[in-house]
Each structure stands twice: as C-alpha cells, then as structure tokens.
Amino acid sequence: MRIALPAALLTALAASPALAADLTVGIEIPRMTVAEYHRPYVSIWIETPDETAVKTLAVWYDTKNSKGEGATWLKDMRQWWRRTGRGLDKAAINGFSGPTKAPGKQQLVVPAARLADLAPGSYTLVVEAAREVGGREVVKIPFSWTGKGGKGGSAAGGSELGPVTLTIK
C-alpha cells in the first residue's frame, strides 16, 4: 500500500543515516480451539534493561469496537499499561494502534525513520498479549542497537504467544 507522507516526515526520512536498518518483529498468534475465541490485544514496545519503556512500536486492539469501547481493555495488557500506556493520551495511542490480528504469523515492520531517536545501547523488545476470556503472556527479546543497526533475536511464548522474532536489517 502506498501512503502519502507529510513533507516533514519525508524530510526526516531523508535526513536519517544512510543504510539505517529497519526493525522487523515477527509474532505468531496461536490458533486456539476454544468455544469462545477473541483475538488478543497485543502491545509491542522497547524498554531499557531497567524496564523503562522507551518507545511503543504497536498496539493491536479492538479499534473497531462498535460502541467505541475498545480502549476499556487496554489496561489488561497490564505491563504495557503500567510502564507506558497509562501515561499516553489518545492521540499518542492512536499513532501506533491498529486492529487486532488473526491467529497465524503476523509481522510488524518498523522503518528506520521511527528509530532515529533510539540511542545506541542495549534494549529489550517486549511483546504482551492479553485475550478476552483467555490468558495473558509476555515474551521478551534482548537486543543491541548501534544507532544504525544491531543484533536481534528470538523467543517463544507458551500460551498466548507463539514464536516471536526480532530482525534488524
């Protein structure tokens, strides 16, 4: 899909270091054989080793709730909510939100431009899933970031999340 970018963002893109890497998160949402299934709420963010949230990359929730009440359950992703979500206004949350995803392999590509303000260092990618009438799980992947690239990794959940991968290139 082609998206028209505002001029300011284009300038920012042009100004980003040459060959800066994108960050790609692969998340498998397990298929469940349960009587009542709802797609999980998923939040994906970057935190420092002392668990301070630096940047939320995406939140997948019921953005299309017919009563507009989808945000009521954002707090069920309780770690994301406590570490950063509760302190963000609607506009900020809308900026990285999208609808819930179906079971199977999902992918989030974070373009290099969105990482321009991420200082070089050690970080953890955190993926938290919370499912209505289901469970909750957090999967973490430590990674390093040079400012232009870094080394990703992988981890796997055991209940609400399947394999999670972080690729930086």
Partner 1 sequence: MSLKLFSRGAAAVAFAAALAVAGSASAHRQWMLPSMTVLSGTDPWVSVDAAVSNDLFVFEHQPMRLENLTITGPDGAPVEAQNKFTGKYRSVFDIQLTKPGTYRVANVSGGMMVSYKVGGEQKRWRGAPADAAANIPAGATEVRKTMSDRRVEFFVTSGAPTTDALKPVGKGLELVAVTHPNDVLAGEKATFGLLLDGKPAAGVEVTVEPGGTRYNDERGEIKTTTDKDGKFSVTWPRAGYYWLEATVKGAADAEGVERTSGYVATFEVLKD
Which residues lie near partner 1 (CB under 8 A)? 68-75, 78-79, 81-82, 85-87
Between 79 and 165, whose beta carbon lies closer to partner 1?
A: 79
Shortest CB 35 distance to partner 1, Å: 25
Pair 146, 121: CB distance under 8 Å: no
Shortest CB 21 distance to partner 1, Å: 31
Structure tokens given for 28 = 């498998």
Shortest CB 123 distance to partner 1, Å: 18
Alpha-carbon distance of 29 to 16, in angstroms, equals 33
Between 118 and 141, whose beta carbon lies closer to partner 1?
A: 141
Between 50 and 69, whose beta carbon lies closer to partner 1?
A: 69
3-state percent helix, strand, coil for the chain, nearest multiple of 5: 20, 40, 40
Shortest CB 131 distance to partner 1, Å: 16
Alpha helices in 1-159, H assignment, sequence order: 7-15, 78-83, 90-96
